[in-house]
Structure 1
Amino acid sequence: MDLPPDTELTLEELRQFFHEDDRTIINEAIESARADGESFDIEMRVITASGRTRWVQIRGEAADDGMSVRGAVRDISNRKEREERLMVLNGVLRHNLQNNLNIVSGYARELRRDLDAVDLPTEKGDYDQLAETVTNLSETTSGIDAELRALDEIVTAASQFSVEAMVSKTDRIIENADDLMSTGEKARRFENVVEESTDKQPVRVDDVLSDIKRTYERRYPDATIRLRAGEQTVLASAHSLSLALDELVQNAIVHNDEDDPVVTVASRRISGERVEITVEDNGPGIPQTEREILERGKETPLSHGSGMGLWTVSWFVTQFDGEVSIVDRAGGGSTVEVRLPTPEH
């Protein structure tokens, strides 16, 4: 609670830190201990002296006088955050894996049925040539009716055989496999850097944004990426901040439906203790479901993989004591605003 470890508080002094949504839980536990002498062990949220939300474990019991309650408070925020990460990642990966494998399996079965139905070369030219042969034989020969009927059945089957449909189904299989791999890669990247997100230090925003700009200019040469960043410094983890801003820039480019996608990344100091980083695009805007992921962050349950990247953005920004918001642009597109504390915070 941003207090020295050996701090002793009275019950009334402790109450001021209880999260308003959890006060009923602790009050009932205290009253039960007083009335029945039952000990309690609960997990709840508190608001620290600096305004941060933390998870704590409170163990208590009734004192000998039957009226007082004594106990201890332990910060368990790191464990709760690990549990939350595991729950979200497991849910996303399990759902995405099942969903995509169902799609892949369905299209694979359709392809198998298409192939089983036709015992022919798959080149369209072969079918055209075969059809021409049947026509010529029909005009010049009357003694091979059985052969002609057999050839006619083959050509009819071939006309129903769509190479284009097979290609389309194959493309869907590849698309879903790629999506599954992308979700898994995002989950791995998140887990690889999440532990260091608590190790905050001064980070130059313009250095991070410059690296991202160079990366995406090479990866997407048709996109225009503008950088307007001053020499602002925020208190964060360099690797985690880079991952979060990288995700925002990537989303702004790959989901842009304009012929000439334009993304502008900028930073500015908005107060003595806050820096604002913006990622602006001229695309179709951000869907409502993904807005909730960014703006509500850890309170948003994820059951699919499409929001995995944005969830990591929100998670890291929250870890840095920052906020995320989205503004629609008048001329089309969206602006994602990330506000982070400075080292002087």
Structure 2
Amino acid sequence: MHINEHGAETELFPVDEPEGLRHLVGHIQDAVVAFELVDDEPVIRSVNESFVELFGYDREDVVDTPLNDHIVPEWLADEADTLDSRTASGAINYRRVQRRTTDGLREFLYRGIPYPSESSRLDGFAVYTDLTEINRKERQLQVVTRVLRHNLRTEANTIEGNAAQLLESLDGEHEDAVRTATVIEGRAERLLGLAGDAAQIDDVLQSPRSDAAPLDCVPLVRAAVEGLRNAHPEATVDTDIPDSMTVSAIPRLQLAIENVVENALEHNPADEPTVRVRIEPSESGRWADIIVDDDAPPIPPMERNVVTGDADVTPKHHGSGLGLWLVKWIVDRSGGELAFEDSDLGGNSVRIRLQQE
């Protein structure tokens, strides 16, 4: 609350609004402006504390003055006029915008919400969520990811090709050289695998949560298991799955299942590894679990905790590869949960829990 130039008290909400609602808006981290439309131009009647902190203007300097004069850069005046016209017509605005603060330009998610009320002179609210750092980090990460992926793949292909040529040119009298070239070739293949995982992760992270849709996960499990049985004929891969189970997930769910099963096989030193894949409904019937059990060496607790979010990512603790991260983010995008337990087969039990549809 404050006193305007006419000596009248003004608040974000009229006094007849619920006290709890006025308290909430006054303390949320988003900047909120209560405005009146004067000739279709928003004039500030009140601001919350977050507006003062985010935009840097003193409350006394902005109240009862045009909002756009303070925060809209002149080259974006037409955009602001269009948004104001929509507000005047009763439409809700929802857009990413650039706005001026005392520290320069920042990026915001803007929501313009009309407030039709005969008992108040307020015509609406403008809500600004600061996206500057989020957007900046997102763009920086995209650049780094794409450059690293391209260069990693290019260099790994070069190393692998030269290692293959070297192996062809060596004969049995150069055992040490053959062994070294074989190691180089193997490491190059691993680098190419990492580049492939990074590309898949980037694809998953760019997909919106709205991609999640009802799908039958049983055919996906069958396809994943059959492909890995063919790739690992020495392994035993059993299934215990129903005829169908509809869950909410993104289309890349099969990729997550393949990664979990493949991880169980490739990290098992046994000559004949065993994996069991189950699909079970939860007790409530609202969730379905895709469970992969193995007899492989346990995944280190720190690696489990880093992937599930129970431990922080650090230079020493970040996971040994990208496969489990890919699974984690596919499950997250599907609105589900990834969990690790001990298996009755003596190894790991990886659970993908998804909402039933």
What TM-score comes out, normalization by structure 1 length? 0.59
* C-alpha spacing 1:189/1:235, structure 2 compared with 1 (3 Å): same
The 1:93/1:300 distance shift into structure 2, 3 A limit, reads farther
Q: Tell me the SS of whatever aligns to 1:326.
A: strand
Q: State the partner residue of 2:180.
A: 169
Aligned length: 257
Contact 2:291/2:352 (8 A) holds in 1? yes
Q: Describe the shift of the 1:14–1:228 C-alpha distance in structure 2 as closer, same or farther (beyond 3 A).
A: farther
Match of 2:239 in 1: 227
Give the corresponding residue for 1:213: 225
Task: Give me the whole-angstrom Cα distance separating, in 2, the residues matched to 1:282 and 1:177.
Answer: 29
CA contact (8 A) 1:91 1:302 kept: no
Q: Which has the larger radius of gyration?
A: 1
Distance change >3 Å, CA 280–CA 330, structure 1 → 2? closer
Matched residue, 1:48: none
**Contact 1:225–1:264 (CA<8 Å) still a contact in 2?**
yes
Counterpart of 1:203 (choices 212, 215, 231) is: 215
Deviations 1:160-186 (A, max 9, x none): xxx221111101110111011111122
Per the alignment, residue 333 of structure 1 pairs with 347
- For residue 86 of structure 1, report the CA deviation from its aligned partner: 2.7
In the alignment, which residue of structure 2 is the partner of 1:182? 193
Does the residue aligned with 2:270 lie in a helix, a strand or coil?
Answer: coil
Query: What RMSD over aligned residues (CA atoms) do the two structures have, in Å?
Result: 4.7
Deviates more, 1:272-281 or 1:208-217: 272-281
Amino acid corresponding to residue 333 of structure 1 in structure 2: G
- The answer for the alignment partner of 1:292 in structure 2 is 305
Report the identity percentage. Answer: 23
Matches within 5 A, 1:39-78: 57=108, 71-73=126-128
Equivalent residue of 2:207, what SS? helix
Distance verdict in 2 for CA 1:79–1:31, change over 3 Å: closer
Q: How far 1:200 sits from its partner (Å)?
A: 1.7
Specify the SS of the correspondent of 2:257.
Answer: helix
Counterpart of 2:53 in structure 1 is: 29
Q: Which has the higher helix share?
A: 1
Cα distance in structure 2, aligned partners of 1:27 and 1:92: 39
Q: Which residue of 1 aligns with 2:142?
A: 86
Change beyond 3 A, Cα 1:31–1:178? closer
Which amino acid is the alignment partner of residue 260 of structure 2?
L
Partner of 1:320: 334
The Cα shift of 1:276 comes to: 1.4
Shift of 1:214: 0.8
CA distance in 1, matches of 2:27, 2:281: 33
Q: Distance in 2 between matches of 1:298 and 1:223?
A: 33
Match of 1:49 in 2: none
Mark the CA change 1:186 to 1:339 in structure 2 (over 3 Å): closer, same or farther: same
Conserved in 2, the CA contact under 8 Å of 1:282 and 1:333?
Answer: yes
Unmatched segments (≥5 aa) in structure 2: 1-19, 31-48, 63-69, 73-106, 112-123
Q: RCO greater where, 1 or 2, for CA within 8 Å and sep 6 or more?
A: 1
* Partners of 1:268 and 1:276 within 8 A in 2: yes
What do residues 170-224 of structure 1 show as CA deviations (whole Å, max 9, x unaligned)?
0111011101111112223334455376312111121110111111111111111
- Residue 313 of structure 1, CA deviation: 1.1
How much does 1:294 deviate?
2.7
SS at 1:279's partner residue?
strand
Please point out which of 243, 249, 272 is paired with 1:260.
272
Provide the secondary structure at the position in 2 that maps to 1:247.
helix
- Contact kept in structure 2, 1:293 and 1:314, CA below 8 Å: no
Partners of 1:183 and 1:305 within 8 A in 2:
no
Question: Structure 1, residues 277-326: CA drift from partner, whole Å, max 9, x if none?
Answer: 11111000113453134312997478989421211111111112211111
One-letter amino acid of the structure 2 residue matched with residue 72 of structure 1 = V
Q: Which of 257, 272, 294 is the equivalent residue of 2:285?
A: 272
Superposed CA deviations along residues 100-128 of structure 1, whole A, max 9, x for unmatched, are: 79xx69x98xx9xxx9xxxxx9654xxxx
Inter-CA distance 14–58: structure 2 relative to 1 (3 Å threshold): farther
Match status 1:310 vs 2:321: no
Instruction: Kindly provide the amino acid, as one letter, of the partner of residue 142 in structure 2.
Output: L
Q: Whose strand fraction is larger, Structure 1's or Structure 2's? A: 2
Q: Is the 8 A contact 2:229 2:235 kept in 1?
A: yes
CA separation of 1:122 and 1:236: change in aligned 2, threshold 3 A: closer
